[in-house]
Amino acid sequence: MRRTKEEAEVTRDKLLSAALKVFSKKGYATTTLDDIAREAGVTRGAIYWHFKGGKADVFNAIVDTGFARIGDLVEKLMAEGGTPLELLERMMVRLMQFCEEDDDYRALQEITIFKMSEDPELSLKLEDKKHAQEESVLYIADLIKQAREAGEVRPDVDPMTAAITAYGMLNGIVLLWMIERSVTDTPQFSLKDQAASFVKLYLQGITTPAGCRSKV
């Protein structure tokens, strides 16, 4: 029984990996279960065995996996300790770098931004993404509030305004990089190499002299 369960998990992961590749190439709307089955080397029946809701369930599972990986990354960064400002800096830098370093996560971002039209069967998952964004902004605002109370952020800085700015900057830079990458093999900047500089420039606008010391 255990071997069967392990094999089922391997097949499920294989299906998700294949589906991500196909969605990335064709977008959600034009991808069929036959496309996914062909890429994975399985039958349509195998897909329905793992994902009763068909294509929508496959896509939702891919999104859930992406959320989980980001959650794991943030937990790892939190475990490294440091002040709230240091955690915010590390988190912003690593999230930007992760988009360039991790092919699967980057592909998921490209699908949800560029290749997914409004689709009723995905509405709940899009709501989940919206909720995750809202929670991210609130988390950043709390870090900035703690940093302000510790004297690292200027007292005139509103945590929510600064958090929305940080989240918008992070996503805007990643979006710009992905747009460039979609038309050229050599984008004019690297997320891996320049993320720390982008974040430092942002922090210089909200921190006190004592707080404006890069730890990344």
CATH number assigned to the domain comprising residue 108: 1.10.357.10
Q: Report residue 40 as tokens.
A: 């994975």
Which pLDDT score, from 0 to 100, does residue 150 have? 94
pLDDT at position 176 is 93
pLDDT score recorded for residue 1: 45
17-20 contacts, C-beta under 8 A, 24 or more apart: 17/104, 19/58, 19/59, 19/62, 20/62, 20/104, 20/107, 20/108, 20/111
* The two three-digit tokens of residue 183, written as one number: 């038309």
pLDDT of residue 119: 64
Overall domain count for the chain: 1
The predicted pLDDT at position 193 comes to: 96
* pTM (2 d.p.): 0.82
Residue 131: give the domain boundaries. 60-204
Residue 33, domain member (yes or no): no
Torsion angle of C-alpha atoms 193, 106, 85, 75, degrees rounded to 10: -130
Please, what are the averages of pLDDT over each run of 10 residues along the chain (216 residues)?
71 92 88 94 91 89 88 91 93 94 87 68 70 91 96 96 97 92 85 96 91 55
Residue 46 covered by a domain = no
Assigned token pair, 122: 């995905």
